[in-house]
Each structure stands twice: as C-alpha cells, then as structure tokens.
Amino acid sequence: MEQFIVSARKYRPLTFANVVGQSSIAQTLRNAIERRQLAHAYLFCGPRGVGKTTCARIFAKTINCFNPDANGDACGECESCKAFAENRSYNIHELDAASNNSVEDIRNLIDQVRVPPQVGKYSVYIIDEVHMLSAAAFNAFLKTLEEPPTHAVFILATTEKHKIIPTILSRCQIYDFNRISIEDAVAYIEKIAKNENINYESEALHVIAQKADGSMRDALSIFDQVVSFCGTNVTYAKVIENLNILDYEYYFRLTKAFVEGDYCTALVIFDEILSKGFESQYFVRGLNSHFRDLLVCKDTQTVSLLEVGATIAESYKKQAEICSVAFLFTALDIINACDAGYKTSSNQRLHIELALCKLSNITALRREEQTAKTVDNTEKNRNEIIVRQPVKQESRDKIEEEVKNNIQAEEIKEKTTVAARPETVSIKGFSNLAESINIETKEVKSEENNTVQMNEDFTEEQLLTAWKNYAAIFAQKQPRFASAMVATKPVCEAGNVIVFNVQQIVQKKALEEKGIAKNICLYLQKELKNTTVKLDVRVDQNGDKVDTPKLYTDSDKEKHMHEKNPELANFQAAFELYDGK
C-alpha cells in the first residue's frame, strides 16, 4: 500500500515563488539574499499555518545553495539543495521552544552555534514558538543573538509577538505574516485537487477555506479529511455534511421570512436547524455574518469583501436587493444583542426565538415609523398656521379648511411616492405645504369678508356617511382616532351639535390639543353643507369616568396596550394567547 502523505507536507512550497499569500515577505527575503544583506536574526510573526516555518526553511535552503538561479531561488540540484530535499542537511537546525524552553536548552544551542558548518556557508537555527522560552532562557540567549558567529543565522517564529521581550525584538528583523485570504487558499487547493485528479465544486472549496480561518495548513488538513469522506468528487453538499456546517440556504430562507414579516416560517426553520444538531449560538453567529455579507453587497465599494464562491455570491446580491440598508442595520443590532445576551439567558432557545420575531417585525415597524413621521409633519404645519393667524373665527375656519384640503392633496401626492424614498419626500412635502399655505392665507385675507355661510339640513344617515368617510381617510395616518371614530356612533344634538363620545379623558385631550377635533368638525361642515355644525368631544359616561387615565385592572392594561399597538391582536391570535374575551 502506498504511503499517504498529508497534503500540507506533500505540497509544502519549496521555493519563494510558490509560497502562498505572503508574496511581499517572500520578495523581501529574496532581495536580501540577492544583495547579500543578511541579518543575523529574523523574527517571523503571524497566525499558525500561514507559512512561517516554510519560509524559514526556504530561506535556509536558498542561502546555502551553490548555484542560485537568476531570480535568487535555490537551484534544487546542487549537493546542499539535495541534502535539504532529503531532510539530511546539517545546515538547518530546528528547535521547538514549546518543549525546550529552559536555560539548559538554550545553553546547548549556544554551544552548537559555535561550530561552523561542514558543507555550505550558513547554519540556520529555526526556533519555533519562541515566546514559550522562560525569562531566564531569553536572557541567556541575548548575548548570542546580538553577536553570533558569522556563519549563524537565527530565525525565530512566533504566533504571539506581544509576548516577546523588547530586548529580543530590537535585535531582530521583524516580518509580519498575513492570514491567508480565502481566495489564495481556494486557488491553492484547486491546484492540489487538479494534481490529484479530484473533481470539486468551487463552493465546496470556499467552505473549506472559510472553515480554515486564514490558516493554509488547516485548509489542507480539512481538504484531506473531506477527500477521505467524499472520494474523488468533492461537492458542496458533502462538504457541509462532513464538516457539520450550516448550509447558506437556511440563512437565505430566514432572511426572506424576516423581510416578509413571516415569523412563523422563521421559527420553523430555526427548529429544523436545531433538530439537525447545530448549536444555537453557532447559528446566531452565522446569521450575524449573513447580515454582514448582505450589507457588503449593498455597495460596489464593499462587494469585494464578500468571501464566497460565485454561485453563492449571486444569491447574496439577489437577496441584498430586497433588503434595505436600514433593515440590515436594525437586523445586525438585534442579532448582536441576541448573541451578547445568549450566555446569560435562562431560556436560550426562547431568547433566540424572540430575536427571530423581532427580526420579522422590522419591516412592519419601519412602515409605522414612516407613517408617524408624515403625520407629525402635517400636524406641525397645521398648528403653525393656527397660531400665525389670529383672525376672525369664520375666516380662520375657512383658512383651516383650505389647509386641510392642501394636506389631503399632499397626502395623495405622498402616497404615490412614499414607497420609493419616504424621508426626502416628506421633507419636500413639508416645504411645499408651507409655501401653499402662505399663498392660501394671502388669498383668504383679501376675501376676508366674503365667507360663505351654509345652513343646510342633513339626515342622520348623511352624518354617518361623512363620519365614516373621515375615519377612512385618516385610518392610516391616525389609526387610534380613526378606530375610535369607527367604534362610536355620532349623536346629533340641537340640530347642529355633533357629540363624539370617547372612552377616556386622554383621548379627548389629544383630539383637542392636536387639532384633530377641529379637523373633523371642518370636514363635517363641508360634507354636510352646514357651517353651523359643531363638534363636542365628550368622555363617555358609561365608560371611564375617572379624570386621570390610571390603569387599574389587567383588562384595562390590555385594552390600553391594544390601543397603543393594533398589531398586538395579530400576535395574540398567532401565538394563541389569551385575548381577554
């Protein structure tokens, strides 16, 4: 049986040209060799598996080569190169500081350093994990490191540069190795796969590279593991199964559900994920990076930060189109908070499920906010006008009617464009409105004494129709008052006083203070063709008699919450909660 050699060893680069992902370091070392400007000590820092030891070995081989080529690379044919290739060279000494960290070990090393090499020019000492040396060992090493014999070159390697004492740092040339990018890792694995006659799906290799998290050695070990599971056909499906990675598909389906406000689907998908044995925090973090990936797709400047295969990148771009940036920011906030609070939550499943519900509610909330903003703006205008014009009652009424008509015209205008760019539109609407109000007031001033008086009779049915029409017009802008109007039947007293019974004193106050009562009155006057019509808002005698709107019982509180948020009823129904009836 042929001996299996792991890919990380079998495909370890032998020249600087083949080093993956560290081209600038490789080039610098090559230049130094070419110019014969060798330092006595180098410090290679960087995460594990990114090529520190590989570069150190290539360096040792190259400086000892008898016939380096024009590019400054080792020839691979001379006696020294052959000795390196067969792992029998006496010019290279590797010491693992993790297991040889005492003063005694360093003294042995120093004794060794004094002996010049038999073949070749240099003895290269590679000290791996140098941060593991004891303080005493570091100090014992200092003198040799500062003034080594001319034939000695030290290459210290570490994953934790901050643990190296400054006196050592100042005696070394320092090289910082990068994490291997997903692209580089994928390209290298592709090369190996082709060499080994293994068929692969590009997505599969991307998943492997992502899992390796910047380490080429890890990427190759994972690749070996996957190949022994899949055989010669490495597919995306098999890779995610073997590595127990959550399929992107789940995140895409979830995000679609969030955008559509479909929390039921979201909860079902989450259950499916848990039933497959995935850890829930792993899922939360995955969802977090999914939102991040969608966000980087929103701009051409950041789209290159997306590190996935071409097919999945297409899916990301497609989904990014249906998610607004504001949606993604809110989603990231929610999921980050969920991740942060996960450990301390007493019911972790519920904790995540609530976050999923919140995510499903973003779209609805944003819609409400926009509506509220537009209402605020129009009401602000309305109040401004009332203050600005201390004229006679009749003409003031007339002005307000005109203003209201304008507002309605604006509302229609806004409705048609609000979906596209809501904020700009409402600001524009604001200034347009202010302008038109100014024009209107001027006109009204000139015909101040010409107010038309109307005094037609009306039936109860006409009143009811006008009443309902007003409620319908404002159903979206002022849902609370509209629903109060629909719930109450107006009563006509003394021929022209319309009584509006409300449940609570706060409602009466709000109706009067926000000028809504006035608006209703104006509307009724116009519809019923009777300018003597007055609106009287009364607190219902059968309802809440208390002056202050204190909520004593649970059902009061529930009613209050329903008024504040009409969506609550839907939630209650969906979760089959007690609905107070």
How many degrees, rounded to 5, is the angle at CA 41 between CA 38 and CA 44?
105
Residue closer to Zn ion (CB basis): 75 or 391: 75
Length of the chain: 581
Residues within window 306-345 making contact with Zn ion, judged by CB under 5 A: none
Residue closer to Zn ion (CB basis): 33 or 521: 33
Residue closer to Zn ion (CB basis): 20 or 74: 74
Radius of gyration of the chain (CA): 38
CB of 121 to Zn ion, least distance (A): 12
Residue among 81, 182, 399, 471 that touches Zn ion (CB under 5 A) = 81
Residue closer to Zn ion (CB basis): 18 or 565: 18
Residue with tokens 């006659």: 197
CB of 68 to Zn ion, least distance (A): 7
Which part of the chain contacts Zn ion (CB under 5 A), choosing from 73-81, 171-179, 412-420, 547-555? 73-81
Residue closer to Zn ion (CB basis): 65 or 437: 65
CB distance 404 to 527 below 8 Å:
no
Residue 202, burial from CB neighbour count under 10 angstroms (0-12, 13-18, 19+): middle
CB of 62 to Zn ion, least distance (A): 8
Quote the DSSP letter at residue 131. G
Give the whole-angstrom CA distance, residue 420 versus residue 221. Answer: 50
CB of 158 to Zn ion, least distance (A): 29
Around Cβ 260, how many Cβ atoms within 10 Å? Answer: 13
Around Cβ 316, how many Cβ atoms within 10 Å? Answer: 20
CB of 123 to Zn ion, least distance (A): 17
> CB under 8 Å, gap of 24 or more: what pairs does 260-269 form?
260/363, 261/360, 261/361, 261/363, 261/364, 262/360, 263/356, 263/357, 263/360, 263/361, 263/574, 264/574, 266/356, 266/357, 266/359, 266/360, 267/353, 267/356, 267/357
Give the whole-angstrom CA distance, residue 78 versus residue 97. Answer: 31
Residue closer to Zn ion (CB basis): 78 or 243: 78
Which part of the chain contacts Zn ion (CB under 5 A), choosing from 77-85, 98-106, 420-428, 561-569? 77-85
Residues within window 433-492 making contact with Zn ion, judged by CB under 5 A: none
Copy the structure tokens of residue 253.
Answer: 């389906």
Residue closer to Zn ion (CB basis): 62 or 319: 62
Give every strand in the sheet of 497-502, ordered side by side: 491-493, 497-502, 534-539
Q: Which of 570, 578, 525 lies closest to 554 in space, CA to CA?
A: 578
Residue closer to Zn ion (CB basis): 29 or 133: 29
Residues within window 490-549 making contact with Zn ion, judged by CB under 5 A: none
Residue among 78, 169, 505, 506 that touches Zn ion (CB under 5 A) = 78
Is residue 85 involved in binding Zn ion (CB under 5 A)?
A: no
Q: Which of 462, 465, 436 lies closest to 530 in space, CA to CA?
A: 462
CB of 8 to Zn ion, least distance (A): 24
CB of 269 to Zn ion, least distance (A): 59
CB of 85 to Zn ion, least distance (A): 10
Give the whole-angstrom CA distance, residue 316 versus residue 438. Answer: 50
Residue with tokens 């000028």: 515
Residue among 6, 17, 32, 75 that touches Zn ion (CB under 5 A) = 75
Residue 374, burial from CB neighbour count under 10 angstroms (0-12, 13-18, 19+): buried
CB of 92 to Zn ion, least distance (A): 14
Give the whole-angstrom CA distance, residue 107 versus residue 105. Answer: 5
Residue closer to Zn ion (CB basis): 75 or 274: 75
Residue closer to Zn ion (CB basis): 81 or 208: 81
Residue closer to Zn ion (CB basis): 83 or 164: 83
CB of 32 to Zn ion, least distance (A): 18
3-state DSSP assignment of residue 493: strand
CB of 10 to Zn ion, least distance (A): 21
The site that binds Zn ion (CB under 5 A) totals a number of residues, namely: 5
Site string for Zn ion, 27-66 (x = CB under 5 A): --------------------------------------x-
Contact positions toward Zn ion, by CB under 5 A?
65, 74-75, 78, 81
